[in-house]
Amino acid sequence: MVTPSVKVRKWHNAELEAGVTPPASESGEGPDRISNLPVDALRSIVSLLPTKDGARTQSLPAAVSTRWRHLFRSSPLNLDVELRREDEPAPSSLVSRLLADHQVPCRRLSLTWYGYKCDMVSPLLNRWLHSPALNGLPEFHLRQNRSENGEDEFWRARYTLPPSVLRFAPTLRILSVKCACHRIRFPCVAGGDVQFPHLKQLTFKGVIISEADLHGVLAGCHVLESLVLSELDGVSGVRISSSTLRSLGVSSGFGHEPEEVLEQVIVVDAPNLEKFFLDGAEYCLSICVVWAPKLEFLGSLPRGFTTAKLQAAFLQRTAAASLMSVMRTVKVLVLRMSPPSVDDLINFVTFFPCVEKLYVVVRID
């Protein structure tokens, strides 16, 4: 039997540079369908990659496709930066050059600060936040962690986030500030009428913020869907009214004593709230839900949380409505019991006739 010969056409460099990919039968490998996607789709892919991986697409071999080589500079940045001490290797100059030379705005900025006491951090961060490459920034993350070799002077000092971060308020969709040991203060917004018209996710953990500033931020969020308030310093009570909020997480637990701990959370009006996550209520966190008719997830109710406290926590907008009608919407319930008690468990379950999943967290001393 004679094997038919296959005529293989020679692919010229001009065709490869133009982005034409040889078919699988002629390249010897599977077809590179991704490289043949529209340029806008390729830019979206590059913008979702971490900064280092996105930059590597500029040096992909021609055998893959030369279409990737110039995409990084024209794709929105997904920028992850670590802020370090002056005596450690740091990408500070690289980040400054990248922000200055990049052709399109940044899609996401994520900063990790390991807690070193360094006078250069605040002015450097302020310069970055004023960069034109960050105009219209939709996503900002700041995480401050304590390094194993952290300096004691840092943990006695407090640093205010540069007010320039508020210039992103009109375009932010995600804002997350997470700090260890309450060392980062959120800039003052009370009376400033700062609006967050597109913000959907807001997370404050271990942040120093006044009660007036927190309510000022919440008042400016018109499409907020997810809110996490954890281990705040400076806030004793918060009132929440939002027609768009779907998920709420609250914690008053803390690893280092703040000046003022969160003691009361009142959900005044949340018609679309579906999930309510609780933690740290053993620190005397008082919860009151006035109106949340779509609540499906509740927990974890803390140790010592009695049925009497449950009745006091969940009020009704009208006197005719009963507690049972609200609890009927809850499908997932999480309880903490120590020591475990079957009688207490039965008493709680009677308030949630439609619960489908029950989780009991038991601490064994």
pLDDT at 274 over 80: yes
For the chain, first and last CA: distance in Å?
Answer: 80
Q: In a 3-state reduction of DSSP, which class is residue 275?
A: strand
Q: In a 3-state reduction of DSSP, which class is residue 268?
A: strand
The pLDDT, as a whole number, for residue 78 is 83
Mean pLDDT of 121-132: 81
Q: Which tokens hold the place of 40?
A: 């806008």
The pLDDT, as a whole number, for residue 138 is 95
Q: At CA 264, angle to CA 258 and CA 269, rounded to 5?
A: 135
pLDDT at 227 over 70: yes
pLDDT at 319 over 60: no
Rounded Cα distance between 313 and 222, Å, is: 26
The pLDDT, as a whole number, for residue 167 is 93
Mean pLDDT of 340-352: 78
* Residues composing the chain: 365
Model pTM score: 0.79
Contact 334, 300 (CB under 8 A): yes
Phi, psi of 236 (to 5 degrees): -100, -25
Model pLDDT for residues 57-116, shown as the tens digit of each residue: 776 665 556 677 677 767 778 888 877 655 455 556 677 777 877 767 788 999 887 755
pLDDT at 273 over 90: yes
Model pLDDT for residues 181-192, shown as the tens digit of each residue: 667 889 887 666
The pLDDT, as a whole number, for residue 225 is 98
Q: Look up tokens 């003052």; give the residue.
A: 188
Mean pLDDT of 169-198: 86
Between residues 315 and 51, the one the model is more confident about: 51
Query: How deeply is 28 buried, as exposed, middle or buried, from its count of CB atoms within 10 A (0-12, 13-18, 19+)?
Result: exposed
In this structure, the dihedral spanned by the alpha carbons of residues 126, 138, 185 and 86, taken in order and rounded to 10 degrees, is -40
Q: What is the 3-state secondary structure (H, E, C) of 22-89?
A: CCHHHHCCCCCCHHHCCHHHHHHHHHHCCHHHHHHHHHCCCCCCHHHCCCHHHCCEEEEEEECCCCCC
Q: What does the mean pLDDT of the chain come to? A: 76
